[in-house]
Amino acid sequence: MTRLETYLTGLAVDGLISVSSQLDASLHFDLTFAEVEAAILGLGLCPARYQRNRQTISCAGQLALLRSTVAVIGCGGLGGYVIEELARLGVGRIAAVDPDLFEEHNLNRQLLATQANLGEYKVRAAARRVGEINPAVALVPHRRSFSAENGRELLGGATVVVDALDNMKTRLELAAVCRELRIPLVHGAIAGWFGQVATQLPGDDISVYLSGAGVGGKGVESKLGNPSFTPAFVASLQVAEACKVILGQGDPISGRMLVCNLFEMEFEEIRL
């Protein structure tokens, strides 16, 4: 057992290591908070912050989450909730991609938007929020739009990609780059009371779900807007999907799409 491992084992109470002990260990051994977290989980111990994860996610699973990278494309309604939940879940690296600043019309639904940070870049606010929640998580901000041209670079090293975009054209480009790189993609989209979720695993192609029937198809969100609860709901389904894909457990929604109607509380599964 290394000195660090002996130190951590001595600090464990009922298999848990508190945040303050984790911080002490990182200062004492000149390691990052994340490096200490990996050592804790490697010993089969659990950072106390994850104690309510334990019945759902094993220490080995928690370590897999810590070692994974999730690319979140879009940091608005869906992306804000996705980033928050990934950080609390303990995903070690989040690549956040969005060129925009917070504006007043984001306040009704975007978790990371506050009156105080109007005018701030969304990815910058995301980095600050993640740092406040969980210092084991590195948020890598990319203040740019995703495109077919920069996609390979932005998605490089990602374990899973989360589609939190706001337009169909870029969604189709994102899905194509994910197919090419064989990276699992969790798609989510919303409009008003309605949402949809589908996961594209390597070998799948979800582009038919993202294409309009007519020429120049336009999502109905421009008419319906988006209230606070729809992005929170769909983002949570997306994070559950990303979690399962990283852990290699459960059944992702591959080869099918869930269409959610929160107005009439109807859930439809489309299989193609």
Partner 1 sequence: MQVTVKLFASFRAGRTPIEVCDYPVGTSVADVVADKGVPVAEIGIMLVNCRHVHLDRELSDGDLLAIFPLLGGG
Q: Based on C-alpha coordinates, what's the Rg of the chain?
A: 19
We find the least distance from the C-beta atom of residue 195 to partner 1, in angstroms, to be: 7
Question: Residues with Cβ < 8 Å from 163, sequence gap 6 or more?
Answer: 73, 74, 171, 174, 175, 185, 186, 187, 188, 189, 238
CA–CA separation, 128 and 80 (whole Å): 12
Nearer to partner 1, 137 or 257 (CB): 257
- Here the tokens at position 96 are 């956040």
Residue 82 CA to residue 229 CA, distance in Å, equals: 13
Residue 188 found at the interface with partner 1 (CB under 8 A): yes
Instruction: Name the segment binding partner 1 (CB under 8 A); options: 15-23, 140-148, 150-158, 160-168.
Output: 160-168
- Of 37-45, 83-91, 136-144, 258-266, the segment contacting partner 1 by CB under 8 A is 258-266
Is position 261 an interface residue for partner 1 (rule: CB under 8 A)? yes
Write out the DSSP string of 142-175: E-S---TTTHHHHHTT-SEEEE--S-HHHHHHHH
Query: Where in 210-249 is the site for partner 1 (CB under 8 A)?
Result: 211-214, 216-224, 226, 231
The DSSP H or E segment spanning 103 is none
Instruction: Break the chain down into helix, strand, coil percent, rounded to 5.
Output: 45, 20, 40
CA atoms within 13 A on the CB side of 227: 8
* The only residue of 42, 167, 180, 202 in contact with partner 1, by rule CB under 8 A: 167
In the complex with partner 1, the residue whose CB is nearer, 28 or 169, is 169
Encoded one letter per residue, x for contact with partner 1 by CB under 8 A and - for no contact, window 7-46 reads ----------------------------------------
Whole-number minimum distance, CB 163 to partner 1, in Å?
Answer: 8
Note the residues at the interface with partner 1 (CB under 8 A): 74, 76-79, 163-168, 171, 188-196, 208-209, 211-214, 216-224, 226, 231, 259, 261, 263-264, 268, 270-272
